[in-house]
Structures are given as C-alpha cells and as structure tokens.
Amino acid sequence: MSILLYLVSFIIIFPILLLLFIYFICRKKKKSEVKSFGLAADVTTFVLFLSVPLFISSLWNINLSVWIISAAIIIAIIFTYIDWKSKKEIEILPLVKKVWRFYFIVLMVAYILIWFVGMLHKIITYVFFS
C-alpha cells in the first residue's frame, strides 16, 4: 500500500514525467504522435488539477484550489458561449475536448512557472538567509 502511495505522490509532484511516460507507451503501441500526445495530455490534465494547487500550497501556504476550480468553470462557460455563438449548435464532445486541452496548456504553463519561481525562491532563501 505504501508503494502505491509513493507512486501517486511522485506522479502528483512530477506530472511531466507522467506525460512523457504515457506518450512513450502510446507510441510503442503504434499510435500516431498526435493521438499519443493527446491522450497523454488528457491524463496529465487531471493530475495537474491536483498538482498546481498542491505546489502553491506547499511553497507559499496559500490555498487556491477553489479559485482554480472557479476559473476552470468560468473558462468552460466562455468556451461554451463562444462555441454556441459561432456554430449555433453545441457539440458536447468536441467542446469538452477543446476545454480540456486548454486546461492542459494553462495548467502546464502554471506548473512550469510555479516550479521555476519556487526553485528561485528556495535558492535565494538558502543563499541569503541561511
């Protein structure tokens, strides 16, 4: 049981490794590059929803989970409105796919920025205040 706990914790801390792992597994199964990356991004997005607030909380003791979920809902509403205005007919699965992929991009950029800022913050704290 503790091995599973360590594995889940590792995946939440390093979602980029999950992205690469799923991508390479799909490529080994002869899927196209685009489909492999799409599946890897879809799975990683779920983990990023857990990882980004956890990272922020562990670095700066700020809980932004509610804000991140609220922003995700607002983004989904905006995408739905734009889709409805442009097509007049909402197709659910393509819309969900667009929104989910947008979440992936936003959360991955946020994760990388938080990672760099957190590392820089810890280095500065160590060098100047230890």
Q: What average pLDDT does this structure show over 74-90?
A: 92
User: Helix (H, G, I), strand (E, B), or coil: what is residue 32?
Assistant: coil
User: Helix (H, G, I), strand (E, B), or coil: what is residue 89?
Assistant: coil
H helices within 14-91, ranges in order? 15-28, 33-60, 65-87
Interval 18-50: pLDDT, tens: 999 999 999 999 889 999 999 999 999 999 999
* pLDDT over 90 at 9, yes or no: no
7 pLDDT band, cuts 50/70/90, is: confident
Model pTM? 0.89
Task: Look over the chain and give the mean of its residue pLDDT values, rounded to a whole number.
Answer: 92
